[in-house]
Amino acid sequence: MFSVSLPVDGSIRHWLSAWFLSGDYVSEGHIRIIIPIFVLWFIWLERNDAKHRNMSFYPDRIRWKCQGKIFQLFQAGLLKRRNWKGDMKLASSFGCHYVLDQVYFPKMVRWIKPKEHCFKLNVDGSFQGRSARSGGGGILRDWHRQCFLLFLSSFKSQIRLTRSKFLLYIMASRICKDRGISKVWIEMDALSVINLVQNRCIGSWEVCYSLSGIYDCLNSFQFHLSHIYREGNQVADHLAALGSKADNLHIGSTLEGFNSLRGMIRTDKLNLPYFRHAFI
């Protein structure tokens, strides 16, 4: 339901980390924190009943108790809409029906240049649903807002978007490493990926090797990670879309052949804002 990839041979701590870092909006009190805690608690109670009361261990009873407890929290007014942020469509599966009073809230998003003698790398991944092709791209700019290099590439069709962003992260890190860059600010719109890397998590079986490769590359230079909304990551987002249609890896240092990028890069140079159209 929540599409959380759990480590096959991981400990409880690794399973909890996979849940806690599985979404871009997970914070204290979020449903992705509440559910695994409830599951562990009711597993413990079920185990005690089986051991001390000679009752059969019934997995479905754990699921029913978790659903019932979540519904009780909703009825008591303790489970708000904010606790479901990013997973609002799943709330009704637990009997939690909210009145969706949407308030339009425009927000300005700007691309910020790096500090002196530091480079900034913006990356993004893309998945084309109809063609089932994924790709990625990125742009490296210096502290004068000048394009140092850009790259794009396609990935295997069966690779999921999340995993493609990890592969893109490795590619971008290796490009920086090969060019002897010592300080780099890496920015992307995938907050879940950033949280995994910042916390040095092992990750699920799908991404554990990719994470290991990322850590090896990041040990070669000083780096800073940050999140940016997609609206402020327009250049990388456009390169990612082009990458999903490309046949080979492309690395270049000029904008020749990329006329569609010139306006976006100029917008960032002039520190003009993009607008994020969101509802709260």
Helix, strand, coil % over all residues of the chain, rounded to 5 = 45, 20, 40
Is residue 163, in this structure, part of any structural domain at all? yes
Is residue 192, in this structure, part of any structural domain at all? yes
Is residue 269, in this structure, part of any structural domain at all? yes
Answer yes or no: do 119 and 214 share one domain: yes
CATH number at residue 206: 3.30.420.10
Is residue 208, in this structure, part of any structural domain at all? yes
Answer yes or no: do 127 and 87 share one domain: no
Q: Could you read off the pLDDT of 51-74 as tens digits, one per residue?
A: 999 889 988 999 999 999 999 999
Answer yes or no: do 88 and 127 share one domain: no
Answer yes or no: do 245 and 119 share one domain: yes
Answer yes or no: do 214 and 171 share one domain: yes
Answer yes or no: do 130 and 24 share one domain: no
Q: Are 41 and 225 in contact (CB under 8 A)?
A: no
Answer yes or no: do 95 and 63 share one domain: yes
- End-of-domain residue from the set 34, 68, 101: 101
Is residue 280, in this structure, part of any structural domain at all? no
Is residue 1, in this structure, part of any structural domain at all? no
Answer yes or no: do 185 and 209 share one domain: yes
> Which residues contact residue 68 at a Cβ distance below 8 angstroms, ignoring those fewer than 6 apart?
none
Given this model, what pLDDT does residue 175 score? Answer: 86
Given this model, what pLDDT does residue 39 score? Answer: 93
Instruction: Give the C-alpha distances (Å, rounded to integers) separating 144 from 22, 63, 269.
Output: 36, 56, 9
Total number of domains in the chain: 2
Q: What is the pLDDT along the chain (280 residues), one digit of tens a residue?
A: 787 877 777 788 888 888 888 888 888 899 999 999 999 999 999 999 999 998 899 889 999 999 999 999 999 999 998 899 888 889 989 999 887 655 667 889 999 999 999 999 999 988 766 666 788 899 999 999 999 999 998 876 555 656 677 777 788 888 888 888 889 999 998 888 888 888 888 877 777 877 888 888 888 888 899 999 989 999 999 998 898 888 888 999 888 888 989 999 999 999 999 988 765 5
Given this model, what pLDDT does residue 35 score? Answer: 94
Answer yes or no: do 159 and 256 share one domain: yes
What pairs with residue 227 in β-bridges?
A: 188
pTM of the shown model:
0.65
Q: Show the domain range for 141.
A: 109-275
Answer yes or no: do 81 and 195 share one domain: no
Answer yes or no: do 57 and 114 share one domain: no
Answer yes or no: do 113 and 153 share one domain: yes
Taking the C-alpha atoms of residue 229 and residue 234, their distance in angstroms, rounded to an integer, is 9
Cα-only R_g, the chain: 22
Q: Could you read off the pLDDT of 262-277 as tens digits, one per residue?
A: 999 999 999 999 988 7
Q: Are 68 and 61 in contact (CB under 8 A)?
A: no
Given this model, what pLDDT does residue 129 score? Answer: 61
- End-of-domain residue from the set 71, 101, 131: 101
